[in-house]
Amino acid sequence: MPRRLTPEIMDDPGQDEEAFRGALRDLERLNRMTFAYAPTLCFLARMARGRDRLSVLDVGAGGGDTLRRIAAWGARRGIALDLAGLDRSPWAQRHAAQAGTPARWITTDLFELDATERFDVVICSLFAHHLEDPELLRFLRWLRARARRGWLILDLHRHWVPWAAVWAGTRLMRMHPMVRHDGPVSIRRGFSHADWKELVAEAGVEAKIRWVAPFRWAVSGSGMA
């Protein structure tokens, strides 16, 4: 299955707030059902060893659901967290605020983030597939430069099994039309192990590439302390 860069409706800045927020609510449902938060929390546990404080930036933070899980994780472990979410959509910020996301919000394109902004850990979950290869190369270098301790990309494994499951599941559960369209498209925009090996090598960064269930890739590296 080759990578196919069909546009996603969610990336269209012309989408209105009601449609965008409806899609975010169903995407959070999908994330819960597919255990999407666990690999990120496991990575943060490694980054937090020996520390009682951690600053975390979530790139492509959407509705802030990952940040809310991180906040709860930190509270259970007594780790003081300085959380920030970055998303270029103004609707994302409003949805995250109304959902009670305990994070500073940055509404901008990631490559326009103030050069002085750095964090202990930078994460992005199910965001990288929105980028084309030249942007991904730049993003890998950006992550290394913005993170002091480490960075994590969690994204989709391009394969017919998750494609079929998402295509059928989003329809059976009568999810938002944007999710029914973008879900299978996202799988086709996803990655293989060979893709990540090539991208990491071309970007000139050191990274670990690991498959995680269900059908995800976790790509992680050290930051520039």
Residue 185 lies in a domain: no
Q: Is residue 91 part of a domain?
A: yes
Q: Return the CATH number at 205.
A: 3.40.50.150
Residue 13: predicted pLDDT: 80
pLDDT at 18: 86
pLDDT, residue 12, reads 83
Residue showing tokens 């994070």: 103
Number of domains observed in the structure of the chain: 1
Q: For residue 20, is it within any domain?
A: no
Give, in order, the Cα–Cα distances in Å from 100 to each of 38, 71, 142: 21, 11, 29
Q: Is residue 94 part of a domain?
A: yes
pLDDT recorded at residue 124: 97
By residue range, what is the domain housing residue 142? 36-158+192-222
Q: Does residue 90 have a cis peptide bond before it, meaning omega lies within 30 degrees of 0?
A: no
- The reply to whether 171 falls in a domain is no
What per-residue confidence (pLDDT) applies to 22?
A: 87
The verdict on residue 182 lying in a domain is no
Residue 1 domain-assigned (yes or no) = no
**3 state SS of 115:** coil
What is the residue-level pLDDT of the chain in tens, covering all 225 positions? 788 899 898 888 877 888 888 888 998 998 898 889 999 999 999 999 999 999 999 999 999 999 999 999 999 999 999 999 999 998 899 999 999 999 999 999 999 999 899 999 999 999 999 999 999 999 999 999 999 999 999 999 999 999 999 999 999 999 999 999 999 999 999 999 999 999 999 999 999 999 999 899 999 999 887
Would residue 15 count as lying in a domain?
no
SS3 percent helix, strand, coil of the chain, rounded to 5, is: 50, 20, 30
All residues at 6 or more sequence positions from 87 whose CB lies less than 8 Å from its CB, including other chains: 60, 61, 62, 93, 105, 106, 107
What per-residue confidence (pLDDT) applies to 82? 98
